[in-house]
Structure 1
Amino acid sequence: MAELSTLARPYAKAAFASAQQSSNLSGWSVALATAAAVSQNEKIGELLDNPQLTSEVRAEKFLSVCGDFEQPQQNFIKLLAENHRLALLPEISELFEILKAEAEATLEVEVLSARPLSEEQTQRLTQALSKKFSREVHLHNAVDESLLGGAIVRAGDTVIDGTVRGRLAKLAEAMNS
């Protein structure tokens, strides 16, 4: 949802700035992922929606479930509670990961193939994608046997359809036009 993204973006940027300043991107990444998971729990959702609790009490109860967070991360959660934005944590975490990947010049790539990729295929594809995107690529392979052959590569907003079905569809489109 665009609205959630718009609301979450300033918080994600603030968390990212704090993480960069303290050279603790991975620590913040783990903390935000944990907080996002906790915020999606049904019982925690009831806690967050309880109008009888003050923002301080909400933050303290929320932090007690999350575990050991460093002081800046605790302050961030308290700020979110104060502004009634704890429900935005999944979106904040997602936006933070995008900022982190950009800063580290990394790219998460999902490859959906008809069969598992061999080690050699994985290395060649990783090298080719690293060169294409000018970033370090982290490749994740999933198998979908319904594909006749080939693969679908998803890298951020980019989708490369190299499946047999995709090629046949392009051929049919070219013949019909």
Structure 2
Amino acid sequence: MTQEAINQAKVLFGLCQNRSDVERLEKLYFATPALNAVLNNPIVSMSKKMKIIDEVSNRTNQPEIIKNFLRKSCQNDALSEMKDVFKCYFSMCDMAEGIVNAQVFFAQNPKDKELKEASEFLQKKYPDKKIVLDTQVDESLLGGRLIKVGNTEYDESYEGYLRQLERKLT
């Protein structure tokens, strides 16, 4: 994710804290690949792009603030990163609502006990937060688990333990 996408998400979060409006925009933006292609096409004139944004926004009853955000993003040639902008925006919304989204990687399909342990571990790290786990299987871990929360990793995998041991020995 680029700094530009993060900045765009911060602007969008500052302008529009109504998550459902942004969810509607995301659905609209990615449901019509032609819209995405035209708005990111350097051959299409800026005035034509503005007319398209206005027309689509009016037909889909987008709030004025969303329409203006799209227009400004288009003028700044920042629409190509909208996938990351939406991802970052929703992450900001979750943080504001006290929700921690965590990716948990296991070497094989986790048992209920392993899921409970991962959830308890995160609850200790993030007290008073709602923990949402996204579990995935990564056979390269050999065993154990790897937890990612934003830019923070908690590596409790066998591979991670082996790397730690290697660093201690060298």
TM-score by length of 2: 0.76
How many Å separate the matches in 2 of 1:156 and 1:118?
24
Q: For structure 1, list consecutive stretches of 5 or more residues without a partner in the other structure.
A: none
Where does residue 4 of structure 2 map in the other structure?
Answer: 4
Give 1:9-158 correspondences, 5 Å limit. Answer: 9=7, 11-20=8-17, 24-25=18-19, 27-34=20-27, 37=30, 41=33, 44-49=36-41, 50-52=43-45, 54=47, 55-60=49-54, 63=57, 69-134=62-127, 135-158=129-152
How many Å separate the matches in 1 of 2:3 and 2:135?
32
How many Å separate the matches in 1 of 2:46 and 2:83?
22
How many Å separate the matches in 1 of 2:22 and 2:120?
26
Aligned residues: 167
Q: Do the aligned partners of 1:110 and 1:153 also contact (CA within 8 Å) in 2? A: yes
Q: Do the aligned partners of 2:54 and 2:67 also contact (CA within 8 Å) in 1? A: no
Classify the secondary structure of the residue corresponding to 2:141: coil
Q: For structure 2, list consecutive stretches of 5 or more residues without a partner in the other structure.
A: none
How many Å separate the matches in 2 of 1:138 and 1:121?
15
Q: Do the aligned partners of 1:32 and 1:93 also contact (CA within 8 Å) in 2? A: no
TM-score by length of 1: 0.73
One-letter amino acid matched to 1:100? C
For residue 73 of structure 1, report the CA deviation from its aligned partner: 2.5
Where does residue 164 of structure 1 map in the other structure?
Answer: 158
For residue 110 of structure 1, report the CA deviation from its aligned partner: 0.8
One-letter amino acid matched to 1:45? A
Runs of 4+ in 1 over 4 A off after TM superposition: 61-64
Classify the secondary structure of the residue corresponding to 1:151: strand
